[in-house]
Structure 1
Amino acid sequence: MILEFFSATDVGRARDNNEDSVALDEAARLIVLADGMGGYNAGEVASQMLTSFISTELGRWLKDPGREARAGEVRRAMDICVDNANRAIFNAANTNPRYAGMGTTLVLGVFRPEGLLLGHVGDSRAYRLRAGRLMQITRDHSLLQEQIDAGLLTVEEAAFSSNKNLVTRAVGVEDTVLMELHLHEVQAGDIYLLCSDGLSDMLDGDTLAQLLNGNPALPEAAQALINAANDNGGRDNIALILARAEGRQRTEGRGWWPFGRRGGN
């Protein structure tokens, strides 16, 4: 599987600091996105702790003992790494008053021969664009999603709800965390979008699909998504990772690499 990656973050139009964080390890085929929460700069601390911890610890394992691991072993390694990161953030929040109550969402992806192992906690999302059609492949851990599932709100009503940012799971807020983890088949031509709610709250699925379909180069697609989110209000920080799966090798002269290209703001 040949992969191309691109990441970007933006502070948005309403915030002074950026509490979103992303990390890529192309050699390990590992992508991580986090959206922090908490007072002062605590959300920024939590998200950066999480992405740094996972990219360092899990990335090292995937490139060495985990290189030949089976999917079940990789799942276990992902769970252990997230659990250890959760404890580190939780302990920091409970030993430093400045960080009290901090936490973060998470979307974590590992591309393997079997497919994409995708884990998430909270309301940061992953989407898949296949044959021009966009599908959300994570389900928010949020009060709003629970109300939709219970039939108390329609999806249309939820778009105007005041409870958009109330998550029911987050990394670092308790001494344990449950990451939802699934394996997704990957097909040639697929594009995967991981994003914080600073993007998904500003743009609906049709708009996301239109911008991805209309901008074949990943850097241009990322910038188009950020610009559109800011044009619609930019009420939160914006973070995204794009990953495209290719079915065959292309030459470096045409702008393609075995593990793709990395960039960002």
Structure 2
Amino acid sequence: MNFELHALTDPGLVRDNNEDSVSLDTDNGIAVLADGMGGYNAGEVASAMATTFIKTELGRWLAEGGHESSSRELKRAMEICIDNANRSIFNAANANPQYAGMGTTLVMGVFLDGRVMIGHVGDSRCYRLRRGEFVQMTRDHSLLQEQIDAGLISLEQAQYATHRNLVTRALGVEDAVLLEVNEYRVEDGDLYLFCSDGLNDMLSDERIAALLVTAGTLEEKAMALVEAANAAGGRDNISVILAFARAKATRRGLLSRMLGQ
């Protein structure tokens, strides 16, 4: 399976700075997106630390033989990277008064041949478009999601909730954090979308899916999503990563070619 990756981030129309960070390692099939939070510029620091650390450390591990790893080994490597990144952000926040209270949500994917391992912390999301069906692959670590799960609030009410951005997990807030990791089989033609809440807070899932289906290249799809989110208000930073899977062409043998098979 071949994977094409593209990332785009935009400050939106309201925020002066961009606290989102995106990072790709196309050689090793790594996509990382983080949505920072904190005081002045601190969110930028936290998200950049997370994406840079994970891309570098996980990329090195994969390049040194991790591509042949089992699912259990890859999951463990991701957890170790997240744990180390979390401690780095937590220590920086405690050592520097200007970074006090900073943290970041995160969503990441590692694409290896016919599988993808998706990990997330907080409310940054991953979706998949497969044969016209658009599905959210991650479940938000947020107070709002907990209330929905408990039946305290309906999905319709959730659309207008004022506390929709209160997360229950984030990197750098405490000295330990739990990464939720799940593995999925990848099919030819799958399109994966990783995004910060600046996208899905502005656009419905139906609108996002429609843009992914109608736009052209990955670059054009990403731009269409960002432009639509800004047209809807652009109240937050907007970041997207798109990953498209295409089955590798198989070489037919001489006899098969002669027989027209």
- Shorter-chain TM-score category? over 0.9
Tell me what 1:170 maps to. Answer: 170
Tell me what 2:237 maps to. Answer: 237
Amino acid of the structure 2 residue aligned with 1:170: A
Matched ranges for 1:53-64 at <5 A: 53-64=53-64
Tell me what 2:209 maps to. Answer: 209
Tell me what 1:108 maps to. Answer: 108
Tell me what 2:78 maps to. Answer: 78
Structure showing greater relative contact order (alpha-carbon pairs closer than 8 Å, 6 or more residues apart): 1
Q: Distance in 2 between matches of 1:127 and 1:69?
A: 25
Amino acid of the structure 2 residue aligned with 1:126: C
CA change 1:248–1:67 in 2 (3 A) is closer
Q: Distance in 2 between matches of 1:141 and 1:10?
A: 24
Q: Distance in 2 between matches of 1:121 and 1:24?
A: 18
Q: State the number of aligned residues.
A: 250
Tell me what 1:18 maps to. Answer: 18
Deviation at 1:114, TM superposition (A): 5.0
Return 5+ residue gaps in structure 1 as ranges. Answer: 251-265
Tell me what 1:259 maps to. Answer: none
Tell me what 2:66 maps to. Answer: 66
Contact 1:128–1:191 (CA under 8 A) maintained in structure 2: yes
Deviation at 1:249, TM superposition (A): 4.1
Tell me what 2:226 maps to. Answer: 226
Tell me what 1:134 maps to. Answer: 134
Deviation at 1:248, TM superposition (A): 2.6
**Higher Cα Rg: structure 1 or 2?**
2
Return 5+ residue gaps in structure 2 as ranges. Answer: 251-261
TM-score by length of 1: 0.93
Amino acid of the structure 1 residue aligned with 2:16: D
Amino acid of the structure 1 residue aligned with 2:216: P
Deviation at 1:70, TM superposition (A): 1.4
Tell me what 1:47 maps to. Answer: 47
Tell me what 2:181 maps to. Answer: 181
Contact 2:34–2:106 (CA under 8 A) maintained in structure 1: yes
- Match of 1:67, SS state, is helix
Identity of aligned residues (%): 61
- Match of 1:15, SS state, is coil
- Match of 2:76, SS state, is helix
CA change 1:249–1:26 in 2 (3 A) is farther
Amino acid of the structure 1 residue aligned with 2:131: A
Q: Distance in 1 between matches of 2:23 and 2:167?
A: 22
TM-score by length of 2: 0.94
Contact 1:212–1:221 (CA under 8 A) maintained in structure 2: yes
RMSD value, Cα: 1.0
Q: Distance in 1 between matches of 2:107 and 2:78?
A: 11
Matched, 1:119 2:119: yes
Contact 2:114–2:187 (CA under 8 A) maintained in structure 1: no
Q: Distance in 1 between matches of 2:216 and 2:154?
A: 33
CA change 1:174–1:35 in 2 (3 A) is same
Q: Distance in 1 between matches of 2:238 and 2:14?
A: 11
Q: Distance in 2 between matches of 1:175 and 1:96?
A: 16
Q: Distance in 2 between matches of 1:36 and 1:63?
A: 28
- Match of 1:235, SS state, is coil
Contact 1:2–1:249 (CA under 8 A) maintained in structure 2: no
- Offset from partner CA, 1:220-265 (integer Å, 9 cap, x none): 1001000000000000000110000001349xxxxxxxxxxxxxxx
Deviation at 1:200, TM superposition (A): 0.7
* More displaced 10-residue stretch of structure 1: 84-93 or 69-78: 69-78
